[in-house]
Homo-oligomer: A and B are copies of this chain.
Amino acid sequence: MDIYRNSKQRDRVLEIVRDAKIHPTADWIYEKLKKEFPSLSMGNVYRNLNILVDQKKINKLHFGSTFDRFDGNIDRHYHFICEKCKAIIDLDLPIDEKLNDRVIKYKANSHKIQFYGICDKCEK
């Protein structure tokens, strides 16, 4: 694959991932998009998700679960993960720019942080 063409399906996959605040799974996107494109296939959803990751328009997340989740927010940010419902929530904590320098044995040029706890909804 050299050049990417336009496709309505891919445009919609991107919009859906961006609009969803839940870091959706491929299956969730498929179910949603199948209403607009009844002939849609899972394979195509996966293909487009991978293309969008390749284009750096979205990110792939793999925390804990057996399946991938996708993040339409490509700005650097940390995540809060609910230990009960497994929701992944974007945090607006400032990025700790000095954190990488704390690693002395290696040259760290980026880092990820996940916080764990119980989300508002599960807290009741």
Complex partner residue of A108 from B80, B99, B105, B120, CB under 8 angstroms:
B80
- Mask: chain A, 46-88; 1 = CB below 8 Å from B; 0 = not: 0000000000000000111000000000000000100000000
A106 touches B102 (CB 8 A): no
Kindly state whether residue A1 has any CB partner on chain B within 8 Å.
no
Q: A113-B111, A113-B112, A113-B113 are in contact. Are A80 and B106 (CB under 8 A)?
A: yes
CA distance A103 to B99 in the complex (A): 16
User: How many copies of the shown chain assemble into the complex?
Assistant: 2
B113 touches A117 (CB 8 A): no
Complex partner residue of A91 from B105, B110, B117, B118, CB under 8 angstroms:
B105
Residues of B within 8 A of A118 (CB): 106-107
B116 touches A108 (CB 8 A): yes
CA distance A113 to B123 in the complex (A): 25
